[in-house]
Chains A and B, each alone.
Chain A
Amino acid sequence: MNANTGKVIRVDLNTGVVSIETLPEDNYREYVGGSGLAAKYFWEKGDFNADALSPEAMLIFMNGPFSGLKLSGASRNSVAGRSPLTGHWADSSCGGFFAPELRYAGYDGIVLTGKSPKPSVLLIEDDKISIVDGTEYWGKGIEEVTKELRNKHGKTCRTVTIGPAGENLVKFACIMNEGHHTFGRTGFGAVMGSKNLKAIVVKAAKKEMTLADPEKYEELRKELNAKIKDALASNVLHENGSAANLGGGAFTGDVPIKNFTSNFWEEVTDALSGPTLTDKYLTKRGACAYCAIACKRVVEVKEGPWTIPEGPGPEYETIVAYGSLMGSLDLAAVCKANRICNDMGMDTISSGVTIAWAMEAFEKGDLTEADTDGIQLNWGDMETVINIVLPKIVKREGNLGALLAEGSVSAAEKIGKDSINYTTQSKGLEAPMHDPRGGGHGMALTYAMSARGACHVADPMLFVEMGSCYYPEIGFEFELEPMTDVNKPEAAVISIELGCIENSACFCQFADREVSIPEWVELFNTVPGYNWDAQDMMNAGRRIFYLKRLMNYRYGLTAKNDELTPRMLEPARDGEPQGIEINFTGMKEKFYELMDMDPEKGIPSKAALNECGLSQEAANVW
């Protein structure tokens, strides 16, 4: 086997037994790696009846075939399993440094089940794997624990850690690598917390990989690294981070304001944009392993109420979630909230969306002071958010903390009235900070079709509608107008297949945009040696999408769950998209037809499954 090692570490935290499992080589070619391979593994060996936070729940970290390459964008990996936030299949990816180190240590993944009798740390040093006492770290923030782990196990080790939010089973708790890179979405920090696993430390003696065709790969690597580094988008991202074009997005109506009640607030273009973050607070830029783009921000706020020392800075999603979405233009407050969420281990999207929803609920009177322990939740009041609400959520303290720590859907179901209608989510996952009404109607479709719920990185539809995708080799030559439904289902099919490949290959979506289809195929053929043509690759993408549909069906999801909330589909009240209807039902019906999916069950037809090589799986659901 090349690039992939074929080996995953299985850890039973109940007993402390560690074993090494070898995966069939065919699984790699059929499911690529990352979230696709994790889905296949879970389908075969996971317990679909297990509650996400029970000891029986399975949590899977999985690398892609490119993890460890000295190639921009290649150093991500996935964590996957049943989400405690949504209750169904989910995966979440992370950049940083963990994936390469795990590969160098000799493994493609880690599979965790059980619950450790006491707080613990999983320590991987090549073939020496042990579960060690983690009591000293329990209750501490991620920044401190990361430092302590590196002091103890050496500066060359790599870590993933949860914070107090994960320990307290906050449903949108995240997992952090080196305190800066995040497995942000769907709450897998709580799953680690439920297993009493505070951290995983990995240390490899050598940094070597075997490749299918090292010479051809090296030639390709040089070309791709140069192309990715020199690309216009890379330069913009390097200079001003993922919020570089927040200003442009604000004018098109892509940036949500006050819980998606507005699509235009001109002041955000100056107050919250990437260039403003650069000018005011940036101290240096950061990068994932081997990446030349270096889009990560390192910031320091030196004065005012939100001072923070130099450390990880906010991404676009956080800036909007803790800025305009809450009715605030205070970028320093965003930096502070980001630092707290990172340290406590909480997803900034789900936490921000849940708080913004609570602000609207409070304004409407659906959420009362009896629900909030007497705290007033007002638009733009970041002092209350930072000093009171966030600590309460982390500790699940009082009525408010207990309510919001469950996420917006659970909170809305609890308080009732019509508050579920103004949640902004699909399948229970809070929507990211791109409003499909202004960002592009196709995104409404792909948010709803994403297996894990509303997601802008499950596939590249955001970039597709922006115009930055052009793949004539696979018939993708659409010239799309964002605010229409024209050709959107057709584009979504290809976008979703590509997204499944990207997320299973664990490749960064920023770097991905510079990689052509023939280059993708060549990467797969020279690195793991899958011996593919473009059609084989796209088939793998569709196979992965189909398998995830089947998994969610086993969790009880059907076509009815492929929806967005009324708030996200009502015509925008202002800005560029004002008054424009989204033809969501029409797009969905066409997409189902193109993907040969059953309009009630929401799963592919038996024939479609058979054609994709999923006949055994089909037998399970048809």
Chain B
Amino acid sequence: MEYWKNPEECVTAVKKMWEEVEKDVELREGARKVNQLILFDYTESGPGCAVWVDCRNGAYAIGTGIPSETPDLTMSLSADDAHRSWSNKLNPVMAITRKKIRVKGSATGLLKLAPKLKKVAVIYEKVLTDLGWADKIMK
């Protein structure tokens, strides 16, 4: 992996990012509107390298690994591309076209969140800094 020492680092950063997203009212409400169980599956970079967010029915729960229930939407990509993606340095349409991201399920809800990715990237950068990984921040 180019950006991570191990899969656990990636999981830690992404999980923490979603925890911080919850603290932002606009983003939290935006996520709740999506009303889906979303799995970010990075297991191609290592077993257990996955984070899920459950925004169904007004909930907001975060977990790691593969959830027990079937996700409404699964986005599969490498841990490195996850880092590029949350840093807002990966064009998601291009990545999907070139099979860097594989999507399973309904992405309609996610389209609602897409315009907020810039704001999420700011949170992600702060999370990396807080975790002592400022060197991973993409310029």
Q: Tell me the A residues contacting B by CB distance below 8 Å.
A: 232, 235-236, 239-240, 244-245, 247-248, 250-251, 269, 275, 466-470, 479
Contacts and interface: CB of A to CB of B under 8 A. Distances in A.
Interface residues of B, number: 16
Given A247-B115, A248-B115, A466-B93, A275 B98 contact: no
B93 A468 contact: yes
Contact of B91 (A250, A251, A479): A479
14 contacts: A232-B103, A232-B107, A235-B106, A235-B107, A235-B108, A236-B108, A239-B108, A247-B112, A247-B114, A248-B114, A251-B114, A467-B97, A468-B94, A479-B91
Given A236-B111, A466-B94, 15 more contacts: A232-B103, A232-B107, A236-B107, A240-B108, A245-B114, A247-B111, A247-B112, A247-B115, A248-B114, A248-B115, A250-B115, A251-B114, A467-B91, A467-B94, A470-B97
Interface string B98-124: 100001001110011011000000000
Contacts of A467: 91-95, 97
Contacts of A236: 107-108, 111
Nearest to B112: A247
B27 to A, nearest CB: 14
B115 A232 contact: no
B59 interface: no
A479 B107 contact: no
B138 interface: no
Given A247-B112, A250-B115, A470-B98, A239 B93 contact: no
A245 B106 CA distance: 14
B42 to A, nearest CB: 19
B96 interface: yes
B131 to A, nearest CB: 29
Given A232-B103, A235-B106, A467-B91, A245 B111 contact: yes
A248 B92 CA distance: 12
Interface string B46-65: 00000000000000000000
Nearest to B105: A235
B111 to A, nearest CB: 6
A236 B91 CA distance: 18
A248 B111 contact: yes
Interface of A is mostly: helix
Nearest to A270: B112
Interface of B: 91-98, 103, 106-108, 111-112, 114-115
B33 to A, nearest CB: 10
Contacts of A232: 96, 103, 107
Contacts of A245: 111, 114
5 nearest A-B residue pairs (beta carbon)? A467-B94, A251-B115, A467-B93, A467-B91, A232-B103
B14 to A, nearest CB: 21
B97 A469 contact: yes
A517 to B, nearest CB: 13
A236 B98 CA distance: 18
Contacts of B97: 467-470
A239 B106 contact: yes
Contacts of A466: 93-94
B112 to A, nearest CB: 6
A617 to B, nearest CB: 36
Nearest to A230: B104
B93 A244 contact: no
A269 B115 CA distance: 10
A421 to B, nearest CB: 31
A277 B72 CA distance: 22
Contacts of B111: 236, 244-245, 247-248, 275
A267 to B, nearest CB: 13
A479 B115 contact: no
A236 B112 CA distance: 12
A248 B90 CA distance: 16
A479 B94 contact: yes
Contacts of A468: 93-94, 96-97
A47 to B, nearest CB: 44
Contacts of A469: 97
B55 to A, nearest CB: 16
B39 to A, nearest CB: 15
Contacts of B96: 232, 468
A470 B94 CA distance: 8
A466 B114 CA distance: 14
B3 to A, nearest CB: 19
Contacts of A251: 114-115
A230 to B, nearest CB: 9
A233 B114 CA distance: 14
B138 to A, nearest CB: 15
A275 B34 CA distance: 11
